[in-house]
Amino acid sequence: MALLTLVRDLLQTPAVATALWIGSIVAVVSGCAGVFTVVRGQSFAGHALGDVGSTGAAAAYLTAVQPLYGFLGIGLLGGLAIDRLGNRARERDVATGIVLSLTMGLSALLLFLITEQTSATGGPLSILFGSIFTVAPAVTLPVELFSLLALGLLAVLYRPLVFASLSPETARARGVRVGLVGTLFMVALVIAVEESSLVAGALLSTALLIGPAAAAVNWTRQIGHTLALSAFLGVAAVVLGIVLSYESYFWPPLHRGWPVSFFIVMLVLVEYIASRLWRRRREATA
């Protein structure tokens, strides 16, 4: 009965219902893109894109634009720059570091200007650590459309992307346009990372991208199963994180509430540790 009452209260609260829907969509996109990110060894780039997007979100706050568009706009520019500058695997981390350094410098300046020249005192905290309960319902449609675009790209690229991720040289020899596949995947990756910044913040968006995917890779080897499991683990972490954050309003300190991003990161960590323990047990008994 208590559980049914909690579910009813959650769904009847507009901010929480919006958070659950947007968070679940973002978790699915991040979970699917995250699998290829892990397989391709682009975890650093995935992490950097969240910080890169914070520059656009800060600029959006200063110009009264929806932060999602700031995240996506600058994130896309940064992602394409990383892709072009690091077109070889050994150059990728260097290119990522260069783009990250530049945008973080700009982000620091813009966040400073927000605190000094506007009344949006919670802006920097919202950008860096997320504030999904304050996401406007009007953002739902753009999130849905961008998510469909990202999932559509992953679906169209599925076979060549798997091939290029596992063996790029062989894929190139077989006629796969590895560079084009990588660029289009970067677009999907940017959407996943920047949307997850709305849920967990720019600094913690990597948790949704890498954690569920890494756990799913430990639990299963079949790529289709890995994608489905990663998406499920991401959704589970987001939904349970939102529920715990909602309930924490009654925890000490009373009537303050704990951040959703904290719970999501902790739940993702639990998922990953559980997957590592299961993998070690499986290897020990093999």
- How far is Cα 8 from Cα 106, in angstroms, rounded to an integer? 44
CA dihedral 135→231→239→66, nearest 10 degrees, is 0
Q: What string of H, E and C letters represents the secondary structure of 224-263?
A: HHHHHHHHHHHHHHHHHHHHHHHHHHHCCCCCCCCCHHHH
Are 194 and 51 a contacting pair, CB within 8 Å? no
222: left (phi over 0), alpha (psi -120 to 50) or beta: beta
- How far is Cα 128 from Cα 108, in angstroms, rounded to an integer? 11
- How far is Cα 241 from Cα 268, in angstroms, rounded to an integer? 10
Alpha carbon of residue 248 to chain centroid:
24
Render 32-78 in DSSP notation, one character per residue. HHHHHHHHTT-HHHHHHHHHHHHHHHHHHHHTT--HHHHHHHHHHHH
The whole-number pLDDT of residue 266 equals 93
Are 92 and 203 a contacting pair, CB within 8 Å? no
- The radius of gyration of the chain from alpha carbons, rounded to an integer in Å, stands at 19
Could you read off the pLDDT tens digit of each residue along the chain, which spans 286 residues?
555 666 666 667 777 888 889 889 999 999 999 999 999 888 888 888 888 888 888 888 888 788 888 889 888 998 888 888 866 666 777 888 888 888 888 888 888 887 777 665 566 666 666 677 777 788 889 999 999 999 999 999 999 999 888 888 888 888 888 889 989 999 999 999 988 887 777 667 788 899 999 999 999 988 999 999 999 999 999 999 988 888 887 788 766 778 888 899 999 999 999 999 999 888 888 6
Give the domain CATH number at 51. 1.10.3470.10
Query: In this structure, what token pair is assigned to residue 211?
Result: 């954690």
Q: Which domain holds residue 42?
A: 2-285
- Residues near 281 by beta carbon (within 8 Å), at least 6 away in sequence: none
What is the total count of domains within the chain? 1
The whole-number pLDDT of residue 176 equals 86
pTM over 0.75: yes
